[in-house]
Amino acid sequence: MKKRKVIKLGGSVWESMTPSYFEEWRGWMEEGNDLLLVHGGGPKLSAYCMSQQIEPLFLAGRRVTTDEVLIGAWRVLAGEMQTNVVSTLARYDLNAFGLSGVDGSAIFGQPLNGLGKVGEVISIRNDVFERLMDSGHVPVVTSVIAGAEGPLNCNGDDCAVALAVSLQADELELLTDVNGIRIHGEFQTTLTERDIREAIASGEIDGGMVPKVEALLAAVAGGVKSARIRDGRDATLAGTRLWEGNYEFAVTDIRETND
């Protein structure tokens, strides 16, 4: 049976990704499955802001987007970053098709209070993505989305979750620059929602990891069967690997509780 996977590709790991990830995705496609990528590019956008003397501002792990930052998102994310991802995938025989949420109003959103030109997804044109995947393409999505008064910058993790839920994906993966979620000094193999809520309340999970775990919880609540964080720098760490005498838990699966 055909499966569907949505992957959020963190900008922090793109430059250090190995060919094994692209080969893994090609194998997934060769099995007749669907694949959709949402890419980030935060470090490149921050570098652009610094070059333009725009101070990057974050609130609860999310970027505050002014008009000037939004221009940078277009130039860096929808331009340089997306072109780089699409062309790289093509070298590995992956038929990538780049688009943003603005194209055809494929992803429509509304502003989030206090974050400037930042939006949350309220509707998705599934037909746009279904047609691309049905024709064997891998949609590569920049999370700049359409809004009633112009484009909005959407958090990449949130955009990936919205797409995974709307398109009824079987799997969601967030590829980032950490091995997983660390609690009590150790990476965890499996966590429940209760575990996560308690860890956030105690400060064990904080900073930029908070919106990531909340994204995973939202995906599971929306019907995605498997939601996990993977280390985007090494595809061989897709499980539990014995390394230097210690078990390093490279994947964190988020499971629902039954109570």
- Reported as type and span, the H/E element at residue 192 is strand 190-192
Cα–Cα distances (Å) from 249 to 24, 62, 148, 187, 192, in that order, read 20, 26, 43, 5, 16
Task: Say what the alpha-carbon torsion angle 22, 14, 246, 196 is, to the nearest 10 degrees.
Answer: -110
The whole domain housing 143 covers: 4-255
The model's pTM is: 0.88
| pLDDT tens over the chain, length 259 residues | 899 999 999 888 888 888 999 999 999 999 999 999 999 888 888 889 999 999 888 877 678 899 999 999 999 999 999 999 999 999 999 999 999 999 999 999 999 888 999 999 999 999 999 999 999 999 999 999 999 999 999 989 999 999 999 999 999 999 988 777 777 877 777 777 778 888 899 998 887 788 888 888 898 889 888 888 888 887 766 432 222 233 333 345 555 544 4
CATH code, domain carrying 128: 3.40.1160.10
CA pair distance 18, 30, nearest whole angstrom: 19
- Look up tokens 């838990």; give the residue: 249
- Tally of domains in the chain: 1
